[in-house]
Chains A and B, each alone.
Chain A
């Protein structure tokens, strides 16, 4: 079986589901003939035609509203924002309508839409293409926020998101788009939402991360293993709603945790996870929960980008720090 990248896995999932369900419709800028600026929708226009792979005019609020209206009417739209930084004009439609329609009509109407977008920094792009504001959406009741970290999980989680009856914000870490390849069977099997994935087992410390930071976190866990520290690595995957059962089980086992995200520290999802761990697993902690995050700054341009991102070393240092005297 050929090995494919994360963005190719996205393409594979879209193709699978469009073939299986005639209600799945894609819309976004440059997704048709051009196949998407990262080629996420490559080949789909030729295969499914312009009525199902729709190049929209340049208007994100319109993309948001179109998708909401289509979803309410029974279609399963998968709308793309070219970058997370461009999703903001659609926030009105997402927060005021997509997240609320079910509640507003007491279940009579619902909004099974997927908004997918490349997100995160580290690709040396011009300003504004490096956003990591998943916490904004995670704060909104009624939404789900899903972030894959590998080709296999991108495939399975995207299928699950499209099939889910509620709106999903699907954030694709651009830095990982072509970083690794895996064999991803095109069997249409979804992976569960609202569930963490334990990527590595260990008894000394729980490393909790998502998105592109999984790369640095796994690297850190390998470095720590050479020092005799066995880290458990958890890929949160669905950052809203959180699977606290898995996170708490890990923390109760190890007694120590480091939460890693590239998003800015203040108001990031690390704060929510920290608070929940303090509320529910204080007795198990041998050390305070620690967050290793992006700084509370605008993501810098390419030259300073590498200082912004939590590095493998920062993660290792944080683990050393909490293991001292605990």
Chain B
């Protein structure tokens, strides 16, 4: 393209108005031929063409104001105006609305919450727009969301937070419930042959030892995470004790090595320390199996909870008079209901059954 720019028409005039074009696009003109008339501040003048050639484009229409040195007429030439390539020209008019320098003023803002918090809200179905933020710079924190979740619930209008043994029980039982694959086997023991002044509790503990000797897999610790089981040679029986303060489980260590008298002494001593809240932590640790004598209160059968890492628990119901069948004859006898639970992740049904059989045999043949 060859461009003719509006020349300085004299005396430093900075612009001129196009009055009338004498030529149109496509016309061929000669040098000095008048192209158009323009009006300056001073006069109306005709502008002659500096070139000979064909007019390709007129830059402006009648009454447009053109600045001095601005493009006026474009003459056709082989020039494409690009040394390589192809510059596209749009046929559409340029659509650009109002442009704002910088950011437009806005009062809208999204709620502020870290991605993890947004995910949490989604998970527990909380609408972030209803949550009051307490975090820095107006952020909604995870606590804010949880709080909203909690205060939104209708359950505990006047709940109190648990402490001490009750809290421990809530936590322990939640974990136990989540982890253990519990099975329970029940049976009745005929205590007819056992003298009525026998220390039944100690007898049961000794029966548990017999049961473990018959089926050692009931005296073990199991870790579900690593899938490891440790069979234990010591038999430490945790004895569940119900107190006004809650559930305690003091542990009788090495029951298999203790005499009946020793066991009774130990039980009494532990009971006392529990009652007086002087029990030491070591007396509540390392149980390998648990014994729950809920029968002293009431109830026959139960599905007692196995507490990891132990794999079993023996529950004893209330000793009561019941009809039993001996050698084909129905007679009244003292009956002890037993319920033994085991963690089926570590103990087979056969193992539980053999244990229970051994316990029952020991008790029924004790004289």
Tell me the A residues contacting B by CB distance below 8 Å.
1-2, 4-5, 8, 12, 15, 19, 30, 37-39, 42-43, 46-47, 82, 123-126, 129, 150, 152, 174-175, 177-182, 186, 191-192, 195-201, 203, 218, 243, 245-246, 249-250, 252-255, 282-286
Q: Is B64 an interface residue (CB 8 A)?
A: yes
A-B contact pairs, 23 of them (CB 8 A): A1-B64, A2-B64, A4-B71, A5-B89, A37-B84, A42-B3, A43-B3, A123-B85, A123-B87, A125-B85, A150-B94, A179-B87, A195-B101, A197-B102, A199-B97, A245-B102, A246-B103, A250-B103, A253-B106, A255-B110, A283-B112, A283-B139, A285-B115
Q: Which of A37, A201, A282 is within 8 Å of B104, CB to CB?
A: A201
B67, A195: Cβ atoms under 8 Å? Answer: no
A178, B100: Cβ atoms under 8 Å? Answer: no
In the assembled complex, the Cα of A243 lies from the Cα of B103 at a distance in Å of 10
Q: Is B76 an interface residue (CB 8 A)?
A: no
Q: Identify the closest chain A residue to B61 (Cβ).
A: A2
Cβ of A184 to closest chain B Cβ, rounded Å: 11
Q: Is B195 an interface residue (CB 8 A)?
A: no
A284, B112: Cβ atoms under 8 Å? Answer: yes
The majority secondary structure among interface residues of chain B is loop
Once A42-B3, A125-B85, A129-B85 are accepted as A-B contacts, the answer to whether A201 and B108 lie under 8 Å apart by CB is no
Enumerate chain A residues within 8 angstroms of B81, measured Cβ to Cβ.
Answer: 38-39, 178
Enumerate chain A residues within 8 angstroms of B3, measured Cβ to Cβ.
Answer: 42-43
How many pairs, one residue from A and one from B, have CB atoms within 8 Å of each other in the complex? 127
Q: Is B60 an interface residue (CB 8 A)?
A: yes
In the assembled complex, the Cα of A14 lies from the Cα of B100 at a distance in Å of 25
Given A46-B5, A249-B103, 10 additional A-B pairs, CB 8 A: A4-B71, A42-B3, A150-B96, A179-B90, A186-B67, A196-B102, A198-B101, A218-B95, A283-B139, A285-B115
The majority secondary structure among interface residues of chain A is loop
Cβ of B315 to closest chain A Cβ, rounded Å: 50
Enumerate chain A residues within 8 angstroms of B84, measured Cβ to Cβ.
Answer: 37, 123, 125-126, 129
Enumerate chain A residues within 8 angstroms of B90, measured Cβ to Cβ.
Answer: 179-180
A252, B66: Cβ atoms under 8 Å? Answer: no
Once A197-B100, A200-B97 are accepted as A-B contacts, the answer to whether A177 and B5 lie under 8 Å apart by CB is no
Which range contains the number of B residues in contact with the other chain? 35 or more
Q: Identify the closest chain B residue to A197 (Cβ).
A: B99
Q: Is B158 an interface residue (CB 8 A)?
A: no
In the assembled complex, the Cα of A126 lies from the Cα of B87 at a distance in Å of 13
Enumerate chain A residues within 8 angstroms of B94, measured Cβ to Cβ.
Answer: 150, 180-182
Q: Identify the closest chain B residue to A283 (Cβ).
A: B112
Enumerate chain A residues within 8 angstroms of B86, measured Cβ to Cβ.
Answer: 123-125
B112, A198: Cβ atoms under 8 Å? Answer: no
Cβ of B44 to closest chain A Cβ, rounded Å: 20
Cβ of B198 to closest chain A Cβ, rounded Å: 70
Q: Identify the closest chain A residue to B65 (Cβ).
A: A1
Enumerate chain A residues within 8 angstroms of B83, measured Cβ to Cβ.
Answer: 30, 37-38, 82
Tell me the B residues contacting A by CB distance below 8 Å.
1, 3, 5, 59-60, 64-67, 69-71, 81-90, 94-97, 99-104, 106, 108-110, 112-115, 118, 137, 139
Once A38-B81, A253-B108, A283-B113 are accepted as A-B contacts, the answer to whether A198 and B102 lie under 8 Å apart by CB is yes
In the assembled complex, the Cα of A254 lies from the Cα of B106 at a distance in Å of 11
Enumerate chain B residues within 8 angstroms of A43, measured Cβ to Cβ.
Answer: 3, 5, 69, 71
Cβ of A200 to closest chain B Cβ, rounded Å: 7
In the assembled complex, the Cα of A126 lies from the Cα of B85 at a distance in Å of 7
Cβ of A237 to closest chain B Cβ, rounded Å: 10
In the assembled complex, the Cα of A122 lies from the Cα of B267 at a distance in Å of 91
Q: Identify the closest chain B residue to A129 (Cβ).
A: B84
Question: When A and B form their complex, which 7 residue pairs have the shortest distance between CB atoms, in order from nearest?
Answer: A125-B85, A123-B85, A37-B83, A283-B112, A255-B110, A249-B103, A180-B94
Q: Identify the closest chain B residue to A130 (Cβ).
A: B85
Enumerate chain A residues within 8 angstroms of B1, measured Cβ to Cβ.
Answer: 39
Enumerate chain B residues within 8 angstroms of A192, measured Cβ to Cβ.
Answer: 101
In the assembled complex, the Cα of A198 lies from the Cα of B137 at a distance in Å of 25
Q: Which of B5, B60, B82 is within 8 Å of A47, CB to CB?
A: B5
Find the residue from B64, B84, B89, B95 having the highest chain A CB count within 10 A.
Answer: B84
Q: Which of B69, B70, B100, B110 is within 8 Å of A253, CB to CB?
A: B110
Cβ of B346 to closest chain A Cβ, rounded Å: 43
Q: Identify the closest chain B residue to A177 (Cβ).
A: B87
B99, A252: Cβ atoms under 8 Å? Answer: no
Enumerate chain B residues within 8 angstroms of A181, measured Cβ to Cβ.
Answer: 94
In the assembled complex, the Cα of A174 lies from the Cα of B1 at a distance in Å of 18
Enumerate chain A residues within 8 angstroms of B118, measured Cβ to Cβ.
Answer: 286
A201, B100: Cβ atoms under 8 Å? Answer: yes
Enumerate chain A residues within 8 angstroms of B104, measured Cβ to Cβ.
Answer: 198, 201
